[in-house]
Structure 1
Amino acid sequence: MTSRTDIEALTSERLGQRLRELRLASGMSLRALSRELGISASAVSQIERGMMRPSVSRLIAYVSAIGAPLAAVFDQPDAGESLPDAMEAGGGPPVQGLAIRRAWEAAPIRLSGGVTFRMLSPVPTSDVEFFESTYPPNAISDAHGRFLKHEGYEVGTVTQGELTVEFETEVVTLAEGDSITFPCRRPHIIGNRSGTVTAVATWLIVHK
């Protein structure tokens, strides 16, 4: 059985292919998306062909522009293990709508700078994004220092190391166990300023 630590991240090619599938399904052309993202059509094409890994900011901006949830980017071959007849503890009535995805079934996404995203919810959940981010030493959500803003309300908890959340007028440092919440429309950059310690956090983005 494969353990969580043995899981390989999606290849650049598979990530790009998945993004292209989502864009085509949305009906947005490559050029229209490039204008929305403020980058060249060639750069969008390189991402979709797996020649360039997007940054955290670029990935979120990409899915926001085409109206897709972040969860849609992850490979979900069977969308979790559906157990409609699972019994409650003690032999109670069946639990309806129960879904389980085992740890070895959740392939993460590795972005530029080594930042990794892993979906935590077993199946896509309407109006909610629940995932884990891992920032290696000196990693940042946008290497060019551009602030990100998108739809929803963000709730995060650092589970290892330290993360900084930089806003336009202040910088907040979060240590292990610290939490933060803010509207995603507030421009922000997330980073790990440590040169030696990896930072891990869980994030809940609510779209209602």
Structure 2
Amino acid sequence: MSKGTQSLIGATVRQLRNAKGMSLQQLADISGVSVGMISQIERDLANPSMRVLTAIRRALNVSIQEMFGEQPDEAPEQGDPPFVRRLKDRPQIDLGLLKKELLTASGHHHLQIMILRVEPGGVSGNTALSYPAEKGGLVLSGELTLTVGEQASTLRTGDSFVFDSSLPHSFKNVSQSTAEILWIIGAVQFDRHL
């Protein structure tokens, strides 16, 4: 996939669901996302929030790369080692006011790196996210209000953050300009949360 090419999230979700042999109802039951919403997403009639997309991804038990339309063990450009992702090969997902660009190389990794572009008015979703992982990042440009647990902070260009994403968290862009964030997700071993 070349730079600028955006994944049609609906086709990807439908393909992944069908590959797992799941009905819309089964995916809805496991993810907690309504059948109607999943159906609208699959037909590209709705842009899912990060919370909804994460719930669907976790219910399907697939990697972030697969949600970007990549095959699990897709080979890098000829001659490149498997740890490299070239600028022209960064897949993107357009969720309306939120766009995600994957920086992590293909394959299964415990660390995911992406660039989030949050347009004015963009939010992570109507309800807070929460799942075992560590998240961190750096505001490359603009500003973003990040809420973790009961605490909120407005982050501006050059500010960084790290938090335990098992705590309810969300973000929103209340400014008049696009915020660009280097976003990092580190998988947490389950025994850390036992």
TM-score scaled by length of structure 1: 0.79
Q: Write the distance in 1 (CA, Å) between the matches of 2:69 and 2:85.
A: 12
Q: Write the distance in 1 (CA, Å) between the matches of 2:110 and 2:149.
A: 27
Q: Write the distance in 1 (CA, Å) between the matches of 2:133 and 2:146.
A: 17
Q: Write the distance in 2 (CA, Å) between the matches of 1:32 and 1:155.
A: 32
Give 2:164's match in structure 1, choosing from 166, 170, 183. Answer: 183
User: Do 2:82 and 2:106's aligned partners in 1 also have CA atoms closer than 8 Å?
Assistant: no
Counterpart position of 2:191: none
User: Do 1:152 and 1:207's aligned partners in 2 also have CA atoms closer than 8 Å?
Assistant: yes
Give 2:141's match in structure 1, choosing from 137, 160, 163. Answer: 160
Q: Secondary structure at the match of 1:81?
A: coil
Q: Write the distance in 1 (CA, Å) between the matches of 2:133 and 2:159.
A: 21
TM-score scaled by length of structure 2: 0.84
**CA deviation string 1:155-196 (max 9, x = no partner):** 1111111111113411022111111111111111111110x2
| Higher relative strand content | 2
Q: Which runs of 5+ in 2 are unaligned?
A: 189-194
Q: Write the distance in 2 (CA, Å) between the matches of 1:150 and 1:22.
A: 21
1:23 lines up with 2:4 in the alignment: no
Q: Secondary structure at the match of 1:123?
A: coil
Counterpart position of 2:45: 51
Where in structure 1 do 4 or more consecutive aligned residues deviate above 4 Å?
Answer: none
Q: 2:91 corresponds to which letter in structure 1?
A: A
Number of residue pairs aligned between Structure 1 and Structure 2: 185
Q: 1:138 corresponds to which letter in structure 2?
A: G
Give 1:170's match in structure 2, choosing from 128, 151, 156. Answer: 151
Give 1:206's match in structure 2, choosing from 186, 189, 194. Answer: 186
Question: Larger Rg: 1 or 2?
Answer: 1
Matches within 5 A, 1:76-95: 76=70, 79-83=75-79
Q: 2:135 corresponds to which letter in structure 1?
A: E
Counterpart position of 2:6: 9
Please state how far the C-alpha of 1:8 moved relative to its aligned partner. Answer: 4.0
Counterpart position of 1:115: 98
Q: Secondary structure at the match of 2:181?
A: strand
Structure 1 residues 26 and 183: alpha-carbon distance in aligned structure 2, compared to 1, 3 A threshold: farther
Q: Write the distance in 1 (CA, Å) between the matches of 2:68 and 2:36.
A: 24
